[in-house]
Amino acid sequence: MDERLKQYEEKMQKSYNTLSEEFASIRAGRANPHLLDKIMVDYYGTMSTLQQVANVTVPEARMIQIQPWEASLIKQIEKAIMASDLGITPSNDGKVIRLVFPELTEERRKELVKDVKKRGENTKVAIRNIRRDANDSLKKAGKSSEISEDELKQLEDKVQKLTDQYVKEIDQSVEAKSKEILTV
């Protein structure tokens, strides 16, 4: 891989990784511990991730169980979950917190699929913008005679192949996530 293209490939990979992280946080009617990845808890004045202060398990398909390392953290964890955009009210028995995920309605599933497709499209636009930037910089290098016309053609071809590869991966991710959401 040409050094000139390395930075553009890294940008495309970052765009794809961001999309994957977004998809992990979309709830599809099943309990997924990754939904809690962004929740921060005040642990003696230090903001910590939920996984750092508690054991997170999925005992059933639609339930997440959170067992804090210290019982005194239950209130803080509940407060952090309520403040998040999860939209689920936690319940606790003094030792563990349970998050029960309601079954998604057909209408809500379709909205989520639309959102997934929109995010996929936005990521493809970002990938194409990176392709445009790469091609622009290659053309400048061609005009200033840093690279030959043949090299320019080869590099532009590699950029297009990279773009096609990431667009295909995005389409596959969108398809898989949509299928997951629509599966009852």
pLDDT of residue 32: 75
Please give the CATH number for the structural domain made up of 3-25+105-182: 1.10.132.20
At 24, give phi and psi (nearest 5°): -65, -30
Q: Confirm if 3 and 15 have CB atoms less than 8 A apart.
A: no
Could you tell me the pLDDT band of residue 157, with boundaries at 50, 70 and 90?
very high
**Domain 33-100 in the same topology as domain 3-25+105-182:** no
**91 burial via Cβ count (<10 Å: 0-12, 13-18, 19+):** exposed
CA 137, 142, 146 angle in degrees (round to 5)?
Answer: 100
Annotated domain spans of the chain? 3-25+105-182, 33-100
CA 152, 141, 165 angle in degrees (round to 5)?
Answer: 50
pLDDT of residue 72: 85
As a whole number of angstroms, the distance between CA 29 and CA 109 comes to 9
pLDDT in tens, 101-154: 877 788 888 888 999 999 999 999 999 999 999 999 988 888 888 888 888 899
> 33-100 domain in CATH 3.30.1360.40?
yes
pLDDT of residue 27: 66
As a whole number of angstroms, the distance between CA 138 and CA 155 comes to 8
pLDDT at 22 over 60: yes
pLDDT at 19 over 60: yes
pLDDT in tens, 40-95: 888 888 888 888 888 888 888 788 898 988 888 888 888 888 887 777 788 888 88
**Predicted TM-score of the model (pTM):** 0.69
Q: How far is C-alpha 148 from the geometric centre of its chain's CA atoms?
A: 40
31-48 mean pLDDT = 82
At 143, give phi and psi (nearest 5°): -65, -35
150-173 mean pLDDT = 92
